[in-house]
Amino acid sequence: MRTRIVKIGNSQGIRIPKLILERSNLAEEVELEAQDNQIVIRSTSQPRQNWEAAFRAMAERGDDEMLDENSLTQTQWDKDEWQW
């Protein structure tokens, strides 16, 4: 599909047909990247996207254990000095 680059204020832009937007599943906010004579438009990634699957995989491998077992026990300083 061809389209034209149009002037929008001090910028330029293109109109993306509804059918292409529907097929691409793009949200309102997107990321743009210039690569080898092309512009790539992709949905923005969510900060914690896919964490659930990553944690599940860690649990299956046994990588979700505490590194320092003593971190859960109270020290004498905790008992005497810490104000709860």
> Model pTM?
0.48
List of residues 6+ apart from 32 with CB closer than 8 A? 39, 40, 41
- 15 with 3: CB under 8 angstroms? yes
Instruction: Give the per-residue pLDDT at 69.
Output: 61
Task: Give pLDDT tens digits for 10-62.
Answer: 999 999 999 998 999 888 889 999 999 999 999 887 778 888 999 999 999 98
List of residues 6+ apart from 58 with CB closer than 8 A? 64
The HSE-up count of residue 57 (CA atoms within 13 Å, CB side) is: 5
Instruction: Give the per-residue pLDDT at 35.
Output: 95
